[in-house]
């Protein structure tokens, strides 16, 4: 099926074939890569943005918790956190209940970066979706539900 074809323009036998895992993976990665390109700060790495986004969604974390969440080593996360702290996007504060722990949280500047990046990504995607046919948008809506289900397995 070409990118310009709608599901109704494709022969039934082609629609009935099993989806290729490789094709699906590549399409998903290409879309994700294109979305990641929409960011508030071009020089910020995906890993750095992931830390800021995790702090926005889940709140303050210790260094170890962030490293575990992002599946990187503590020394690697420490380098990322140090860089983001130097840029003013996050802060470290001693835990009130356990002074040995240090909590890492977003600053107002870090929150602004996350919100602007999300705004840009949503705007890019909204523009692309608006250019699709109603049938294509319905297909993507159904596919997004299936993708969510697949991701939880």
> Is-contact 63 81, C-beta < 8 A?
yes
Along the chain (153 residues), what's the average pLDDT of each consecutive run of 10 residues? 52 64 92 94 94 97 95 96 97 88 96 97 96 96 94 91
Angstrom CA distances, 118 to 50, 91, 133, stand at 12, 21, 24
- The owner of tokens 């910020």 is 44
CB 103 within 8 A of CB 60: yes
3-state secondary structure at position 103:
strand
| DSSP at 89 | S
User: In the prediction, which pLDDT does 10 show?
Assistant: 57
Q: Where are the domains of the chain?
A: 8-151
Q: Are 153 and 147 in contact (CB under 8 A)?
A: no
Was domain 8-151 assigned CATH 1.20.210.10?
no
Specify the pLDDT at position 15.
Answer: 54
Q: How many helices (H) and strands (E) does the chain have?
A: 7, 2
pTM, 2 dp: 0.78
Tell me the C-alpha to C-alpha distance, in Å, between residue 114 and each of 28, 44, 45, 119.
Answer: 22, 11, 13, 9
Residue from 118, 41, 52 nearest 91 by CA: 52
């Amino acid at each position: 099926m070409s990118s310009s074809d709608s599901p109704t323009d494709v022969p039934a036998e082609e629609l009935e074939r099993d989806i290729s895992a490789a094709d699906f993976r590549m399409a998903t990665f290409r879309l994700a890569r294109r979305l990641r390109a929409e960011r508030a700060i071009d020089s910020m790495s995906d890993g750095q943005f992931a830390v800021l986004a995790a702090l926005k969604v889940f709140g303050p974390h210790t260094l170890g918790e962030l490293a575990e969440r992002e599946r990187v080593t503590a020394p690697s996360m420490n380098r990322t956190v140090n860089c983001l702290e130097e840029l003013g996007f996050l802060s470290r504060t001693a835990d009130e209940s356990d002074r040995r722990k240090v909590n890492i949280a977003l600053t107002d500047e870090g929150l602004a970066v996350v919100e602007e990046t999300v705004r840009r990504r949503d705007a890019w995607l909204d523009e692309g979706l608006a250019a699709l046919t109603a049938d294509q948008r319905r297909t993507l809506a159904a596919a997004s539900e299936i993708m969510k289900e697949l991701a939880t397995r």
